[in-house]
Amino acid sequence: MTTTATTLKGQPLDKPILDAMLRRRLFYTPSFEIYGGVAGLYDYGPPGCSLQANIVDLWRKHFILEEDMLEVDCTVLTPHEVLKTSGHVDKFADWMCKDPKNGEILRADHFVEAVLEARLNGDKEARGQKVEEKDDPKKKKKKAKTEAVKLDDAVVKEYEEILAKIDNYDGPELGNLIKKYQLRNPATLEIPSDPVSFNLMFQTSIGPSSNVRGYMRPETAQGQFLNFAKLLDFNQGQMPFASASIGKSYRNEISPRAGLLRVREFLMAEIEHFVDPQAGKKHTRFQDVAHVELVLLDRDTQLSGKTDTRKVAIGQAVKDGLVDNETLGYFLARIHLFLEKIGVDLSKMRFRQHMANEMAHYACDCWDAELLTSSGWVECVGCADRSAYDLSVHAKKTGAPLVVRERLEEPVVIDEWQVDIERKKFGPHFKKDARFVEAVLLETSQAERQKLAEQLNSTGKVELDVAEVAGGKAELNDDIVKIAWRTRTENTREFTPNVIEPSFGIGRILYSLIEHNFWTRGSDGGDEARGVLSFPPTVAPTKVLIVPLSSNAQFRPHIKRISQQLRSMGVSNRIDDSSASIGKRYSRNDELGTPLGITVDFQTLQDGTVTLRDRDSTTQVRADESKILDAIKAIVEGSKDWNKVASELPRFEGQEVDIASR
């Protein structure tokens, strides 16, 4: 079995080699490993931590600063009531089933997917076809075992269609599939129990008397919604505006897998863009991005059991109604540009639209930016239109006015039926029932009011259905309530904004970026292939490696001065004065993704020149220290690339031999 994943240079991706390298260089590591580890928890070591910080820094510049968003930092701890209202207590769940024999807990959709894929692979084997190994993040770590059994062509088609829309099934449907196709747990050959819902939030209690039930937030969004009124005020009442937040979120995954793709604690960067729904969700800067071409996989294509994509300019996609509105389209394009900027391989990126049953409970449309890795297509950014869902439910629950009040340029004149309550009589008449009767009365539609008005006019009284009142009916006389046809002038308009939410999983982006930038350097003399991470200088964990040719003490002042100068320019650098050969020291830094290297040698002592090495081509130039520092600055800031620098400064060949001979 082979994997279809490729490196930056199109070589087949050798996942175990990459994994070993990431481990050796401490990009990330299982948390609590000396205690045996806990599934789904990872720590970032120095290069991973720096890579993450650089991605976050670019994110902040690309989104928050360029668009003047309002950044907030809200708490992870969240009381029960908030997440009950938002729907997470009831609906933020996955379906899990249990093996009746060994008690193993299986995530239902992953289980169905794994068994059907194993059967399809078995069929291919039986037909003598090549079987591709797909290390799918949606699948349980332990794969279903493949047996070479040929299937009917019709069955193959059925399985393939199920798999294409696997995200569309709910628990009972998954249960039906399990029974219909007799899907058995390979470990025990038992059919697992019917799927039950498992809530993914970590629960805790807040305060010494354990009386406030709470959760660790599953997304950063709710804190932003709850602060909406304050943020609008801070923004001096101006619409549209966006808030943004970068912080940890938590999901108690049923079956986390090895690696960063499905973890229980993760860094998110979320934007909540608040927009007036009445204006068709237009965006003033849409024309700036309308030309950006995106690779789209729409909902209908998937429902038909296919995965064909098409490349469309976002301007056209919105025009055609493929993407619902300008604001959603604007952010899809901005997401595309961000991922391009940090170094994602554009040939391994697509935007996939969610199917109806797949969408989160709050969403009315959603597109995911997916990146292709050795684990298949991985959802890295979600871009959902949450409509007015969140603001509405929180406003209803708390009574807080999470609305925008806008002065109308032209007052609106409205003719309507109005209810007048005779307060002095109404309260004493209904006593404790008064507020229920009033609520029903005020919620009546114009048509109902017209009827009530006619009845009051003809009989002098009306009867209302009020569930809370004894007998379920309330009788009102025309001395207590009147309903009149009047004209009203409105000078302000009140509305609940809709929310477009681009939501970034930083860890998934970081891992995909590593795969997209990984390749191995061909070896001339039968050596082991050497790994390289060709990160763009902007995201590379360290920008410059500084190496003295040897441990000669005369090199030290040069090394120290160069390092301090780079630091004062804001360019991160590391000195490696270990005793390893220069070639080995550079190889180590190729694995760390360090784009540039300075060597200080005996010539430096004579004429003050140093060499600068390019990670990707391994070519070197030699010049005065100051010229080299200028070149570094230009490369790190993105104003020049290596080819430009190499064309301007004298090429240096001296150490090539040394570098090759590790």
One of 9, 157, 234, 522 touching a second copy (CB under 8 A):
234
Binding to a second copy, residues 9-48 (CB under 8 A): 25-26, 29, 31-35, 38-39, 41-46, 48
Contacts 24+ apart (CB under 8 A), 146-153: 146/118, 146/121, 146/122, 147/118, 147/122, 148/122, 149/119, 149/122, 149/123, 150/123, 150/126, 151/119, 151/120, 151/122, 151/123
- Please name the residue that has the structure tokens 């950044």: 71
Which among 582, 608, 586 has a CA at the least distance from the CA of 595?
A: 586
Is 403 a binding residue for a second copy by CB under 8 A? The answer is no
- Span of 5-13, 162-170, 173-181, 398-406 interacting with a second copy by CB under 8 A: 398-406
DSSP per position, 96-115: EEE-TTT--EEEHHHHHHHH
Least distance to a second copy, CB of residue 241, Å = 11
- Span of 118-126, 177-185, 206-214, 627-635 interacting with a second copy by CB under 8 A: 206-214
Is 206 a binding residue for a second copy by CB under 8 A? The answer is yes
Is 67 a binding residue for a second copy by CB under 8 A? The answer is no
Residue 17 or 39: which CB sits closer to a second copy? 39
One of 67, 71, 406, 625 touching a second copy (CB under 8 A):
71
Binding to a second copy, residues 163-202 (CB under 8 A): 198, 202
Is 445 a binding residue for a second copy by CB under 8 A? The answer is no
Is 590 a binding residue for a second copy by CB under 8 A? The answer is no
Binding to a second copy, residues 213-232 (CB under 8 A): 214, 216, 223, 226-227, 229-231
Binding to a second copy, residues 549-568 (CB under 8 A): 567
Q: How many amino acids of this chain bind a second copy (CB under 8 A)?
A: 74
Q: Is 550 helix (H, G, I), strand (E, B) or coil?
A: coil
Binding to a second copy, residues 262-281 (CB under 8 A): 264-265
Is 252 a binding residue for a second copy by CB under 8 A? The answer is yes
Which among 404, 368, 376, 311 has a CA at the least distance from the CA of 511?
A: 376
One of 4, 287, 523, 578 touching a second copy (CB under 8 A):
578
How many residues make up the chain in this entry?
Answer: 662
Residue 476 or 559: which CB sits closer to a second copy? 559
For residue 145, give every residue at least 6 positions away whose Cβ sits within 8 Å of its Cβ, in sequence order, or none. 118, 186
Give the gyration radius of the chain's Cα atoms.
31
DSSP 552: -
Residue 134 or 574: which CB sits closer to a second copy? 574
Report whether 403 contacts 493 (CB < 8 A): no
- Span of 49-57, 489-497, 520-528, 618-626 interacting with a second copy by CB under 8 A: 49-57
One of 19, 66, 340, 454 touching a second copy (CB under 8 A):
66
Report whether 598 contacts 547 (CB < 8 A): yes
| Cα atoms in the 13 Å half-sphere on the side-chain side of 263 | 25
Cα–Cα distance measured from residue 624 to residue 376, given in angstroms and rounded to the nearest whole number: 47
Is 204 a binding residue for a second copy by CB under 8 A? The answer is yes
Distance, C-alpha 311 to centroid of its chain: 22
- Span of 141-149, 270-278, 291-299, 572-580 interacting with a second copy by CB under 8 A: 572-580
